[in-house]
Amino acid sequence: MTSTETATSEAVPTQTDGEPPVDPDALRDEVKAKYREVAEQPDGDHHFHTGRKLAAHLGYPAEWTDDLPEFAIESFAGIANPFALRQLEPGERVVDVGSGAGFDSFVAAGLVGGDGYVVGVDMTAEMLTKSRRNAEELGLDNIEFCRGFAEELPVQDDWADVVISNGVINLCPDKRAVFEEISRVLRPGGVLQFGDIANGNNIPPGAMREIDLWTG
Amino acid sequence: MMLEETGYVDVEIGEPVDTFAGAPGEEKARIYDVYGYPFRAVWPG
């Protein structure tokens, strides 16, 4: 099986027709709780790697991370490198869906430069507080962080040249709604580039209803 | 694939990365053969 065949099998947890396999509000609460922990205790007991070590493992070039202070990268909890298949261009306008403590947004802000702009969107208050503080300490003026959901982005129609995301869409029960919302904010010809998980083995329907499987 | 079903074109999927290798979540990732992937798709408008 090739990597493409594997990745096109099923996202984890997968989309189902009809009712979501888990209660969306309960899932949102669980995800917020998990990422509140990542914001406040980046070296805590998480089921995934975090921080600078994770960025290196996922293939982020050292020149993007070496100069970043620890506070700007310690809560990074991505799944893959959303810049692996296409690098951002100077001047582009970028939305980061589920921006967390801001690491991917900071990378994006550096790549698009002063003529570009980055809007990070996250639903977790502790992550927003941290990302805003980090941006201020980094002295970035081409970036802002807003509260919002992947299904309801606080961005006007056709604004973005690029939407990035990392390890977020798999946590949304209605992925179709997320992709449709992202298309609303992308200009015609705009690009969605994201990192996320995919599974080669099917997940039993019973397991799909376990919120713990979604968040850990 | 859902990206194409929702109207995106030129969908590209990159090489897998063993995201959970060595992490506490590795055992569960192995059960479902979970890897991380970079995705890219264009919105034609």
State pTM to two decimals.
0.87
**Distance (Å, rounded) from C-alpha A119 to C-alpha A164?**
10
| A contact test, residue of B1, B39, B42 with most A CBs within 10 A | B39
- Minimum CA–CA partner of B2 in chain A: A176
**Distance (Å, rounded) from C-alpha A111 to C-alpha A208?**
38
Q: What is the Cα gyration radius of chain B? A: 14
Asked if A189 and B41 come within 8 Å (Cβ–Cβ), the reply is no
Are B45 and A208 within 8 A, CB to CB? Answer: no
Closest by Cβ to B43, choosing from A58, A183, A213: A183
CA–CA distance from A8 to each of A20, A46, A67, B7, B26 (Å)? 20, 27, 36, 16, 21
Contacts of A84 in chain B (CB under 8 A): 14-15, 38
Are A118 and A94 within 8 A, CB to CB? Answer: yes
Residue A13's pLDDT band (boundaries 50, 70, 90)? very low
Above 50 in pLDDT, residue A12? no
Are A131 and A108 within 8 A, CB to CB? Answer: no
Chain B contacts to A (CB-CB under 8 A) = 1-3, 5-8, 12-17, 19-25, 28, 31-45
Contacts of B27 in chain A (CB under 8 A): none
pLDDT of residue A204: 66
Are A118 and A88 within 8 A, CB to CB? Answer: no
Half-sphere exposure of A27 (CA within 13 A, CB side): 22
3-state secondary structure A173-211: CCHHHHHHHHHHHEEEEEEEEEEEEEECCCCCHHHHCCH
**Distance (Å, rounded) from C-alpha A118 to C-alpha A82?**
15
Write out pLDDT tens, residues A96-141: 999 999 999 999 999 999 999 999 999 999 999 999 999 999 999 9
Write out pLDDT tens, residues B3-44: 999 999 999 999 999 998 888 888 888 888 889 999 999 999
Above 80 in pLDDT, residue A173? yes
Asked if A176 and B2 come within 8 Å (Cβ–Cβ), the reply is yes
From the CA of B26, how many Å to the nearest CA of chain A?
8
Asked if B39 and A216 come within 8 Å (Cβ–Cβ), the reply is no
Q: What is the Cα gyration radius of chain A? A: 17
pLDDT of residue A6: 34
Residue A214's pLDDT band (boundaries 50, 70, 90)? low
Are A124 and A98 within 8 A, CB to CB? Answer: no
- Beta-carbon contacts of A206 under 8 Å, excluding residues fewer than 6 positions away, are none
- Minimum CA–CA partner of A216 in chain B: B25
Write out pLDDT tens, residues A20-75: 667 788 878 887 888 888 888 888 878 888 899 999 999 999 999 999 999 999 99
Residue A9's pLDDT band (boundaries 50, 70, 90)? very low
Are A156 and A143 within 8 A, CB to CB? Answer: no
pLDDT of residue A19: 62
